[in-house]
């Protein structure tokens, strides 16, 4: 029930309801904590042009694009993803 409250009755195709009205992009630049954006070149959910927007709205973030991954770099390139996450969390 919570999922449908957030994304609407057809969340696989149209994001609506509560989550469709949230827009915190302008506030992202004010985040004080470290931010890591992990992206996949072949992601068909958060496509590359969207991923670049994440960095645009959160310029202080560390942005890493995995060239051989889709939506799940942790599965598709784990040998690169996990050391990156460990290094990021150790800061």
pLDDT in tens, 2-44: 666 666 666 565 656 555 567 788 999 999 999 999 999 999 8
Structural contact between residues 43 and 30, judged by C-beta atoms closer than 8 angstroms: no
Q: What is the pLDDT of residues 39-69, one digit of tens each?
A: 999 998 888 888 889 899 999 999 999 999 9
In degrees to the nearest 10, what's the CA dihedral of 81, 86, 90, 91?
0
Q: Which two tokens stand for residue 51?
A: 């991923």
Residue-averaged pLDDT of the chain: 86
The confidence score (pLDDT) of residue 11 equals 55
Distances 76 to 40, 41, 60 between C-alpha atoms, Å = 9, 11, 26
The confidence score (pLDDT) of residue 19 equals 59
Average pLDDT over residues 79-84: 97
For the beta carbon of residue 81, count every other beta carbon within 10 angstroms: 19
């Amino acid at each position: 029930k919570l999922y449908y409250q957030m994304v609407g009755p057809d969340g696989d195709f149209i994001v609506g309801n509560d989550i469709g009205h949230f827009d915190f992009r302008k506030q992202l630049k004010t985040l004080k904590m470290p931010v890591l954006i992990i992206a996949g070149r072949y992601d068909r959910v958060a496509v590359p042009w969207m991923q670049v927007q994440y960095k645009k709205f959160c310029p202080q973030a560390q942005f890493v694009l995995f060239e051989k991954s889709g939506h799940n770099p942790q599965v598709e390139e784990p040998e690169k993803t996990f050391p990156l996450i460990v290094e990021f969390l150790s800061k």
